[in-house]
């Protein structure tokens, strides 16, 4: 597992702890994501990560606090939750880049060959 994927996975674990949204976000970022090297990231993920880092370091720290803490301290709980969701989205991008999801069409009757309208709910879901 790549270091990026592992760090994002650990961040998600921290984001699902029992703390409030701001504390979870601080823990997820400071305890792992802040240590990642952007040089080793794929281009699309690097840009997203750097934008997220810039957003999370927008405010100047007070005393000896971490820049992430200074910014998150000024966020609303809703903004902190959105940042947490962005971390999950970044993880999904990494996972999908490692093993892209392949969708395939399921073959069914050709609509031109039947006079019936297709059922909205498949038959197997309506049986009791």
Of 16, 41, 39, 40, which Cα lies nearest the Cα of 27? 16
pLDDT tens-digit readout, 31-77? 889 888 888 888 888 999 999 999 999 999 989 999 999 999 999 98
Q: How high is the pLDDT of residue 83? A: 92
Question: What is the percent of the chain with per-residue pLDDT over 90, rounded to a whole number?
Answer: 35
pLDDT tens-digit readout, 68-117? 999 999 999 889 888 999 999 999 888 887 665 554 555 555 545 555 55
For the residues of 75-125, what is the DSSP string, one character each? S-HHHHHHHHHHHHHHHHHHHHHHS-----PPP---GGG-SSPPPSS-HHH
User: Would you say residue 28 has pLDDT above 90?
Assistant: yes
Of 13, 2, 3, which Cα lies nearest the Cα of 87? 13
User: Would you say residue 127 has pLDDT above 80?
Assistant: no
Q: How high is the pLDDT of residue 54? A: 93
Q: How high is the pLDDT of residue 111? A: 46
């Amino acid at each position: 597992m790549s270091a990026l994927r592992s760090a994002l996975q650990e961040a998600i674990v921290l984001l699902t702890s029992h703390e409030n949204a701001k504390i979870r976000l601080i823990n997820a970022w400071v305890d792992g994501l802040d240590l990642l090297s952007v040089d080793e990231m794929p281009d699309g993920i690097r840009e997203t990560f750097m934008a997220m880092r810039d957003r999370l370091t927008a405010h100047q720290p007070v005393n000896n606090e971490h820049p992430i803490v200074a910014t998150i301290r000024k966020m609303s709980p809703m903004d902190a939750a959105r940042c947490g969701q962005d971390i999950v989205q970044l993880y999904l991008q990494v996972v999908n880049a490692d093993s892209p999801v392949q969708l395939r069409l399921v073959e069914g009757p050709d609509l031109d060959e039947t006079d019936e309208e297709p059922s909205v709910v498949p038959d197997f879901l309506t049986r009791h």
